[in-house]
């Protein structure tokens, strides 16, 4: 878990500078360190192989949260996650991960992106219902 704490400290340090691209990189490394807790090198390699896609999703989530969450607020959310990880309670960790914000970019997406179909809107409604049920 020391790696997670180092990654979180790097996020904290960059958050104070306001450097969003650097923050995104540090945030990705934090997430990799959490995956690394599994002790499975192949799982971590697989996660890293998706870096571009994951960072795009993280950037979209960050943009969606900007109105109500500063970078320091994002650090606080990740600090809370790490505190739960540190308890060693896997169920509590899974509960926290279920509401960690991985789909924030979906909030209001139908108002900012054109070309959605009825199928896409139905999927979006299902995702929102699923998110509410896990909170």
| pLDDT grade for 122, boundaries at 50, 70 and 90 | confident
Is 7's pLDDT higher than 80? yes
Cβ(76)–Cβ(34) below 8 Å: no
Specify the pLDDT at position 133: 57
Is 135's pLDDT higher than 70? no
Is 14's pLDDT higher than 90? yes
Is 128's pLDDT higher than 80? no
Q: 39: phi > 0 → left, psi -120 to 50 → alpha, else beta; which?
A: left
Parse the chain into domains and list their residue ranges: 2-102, 103-135
Q: Higher model confidence: residue 77 or residue 113?
A: 77
Specify the pLDDT at position 109: 63
Is 101's pLDDT higher than 70? no
What the block records as the tokens of 117 is: 């179909």
pTM across the whole model: 0.76
């Amino acid at each position: 878990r020391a790696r997670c704490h180092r990654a979180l400290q790097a996020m904290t340090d960059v958050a104070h500078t306001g450097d969003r691209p650097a923050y995104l990189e540090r945030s990705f490394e934090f997430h990799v360190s959490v995956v690394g807790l599994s002790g499975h090198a192949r799982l971590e390699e697989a996660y890293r192989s998706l870096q571009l896609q994951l960072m795009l999703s993280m950037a979209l989530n960050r943009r969606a949260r900007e109105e109500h969450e500063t970078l320091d607020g994002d650090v606080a959310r990740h600090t809370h996650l790490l505190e739960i990880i540190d308890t060693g309670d896997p169920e509590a960790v899974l509960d926290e991960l279920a509401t960690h914000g991985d789909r924030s970019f979906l909030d209001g997406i139908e108002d900012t992106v054109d070309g959605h179909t009825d199928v896409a809107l139905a999927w979006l409604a299902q995702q929102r219902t699923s998110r509410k049920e896990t909170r």
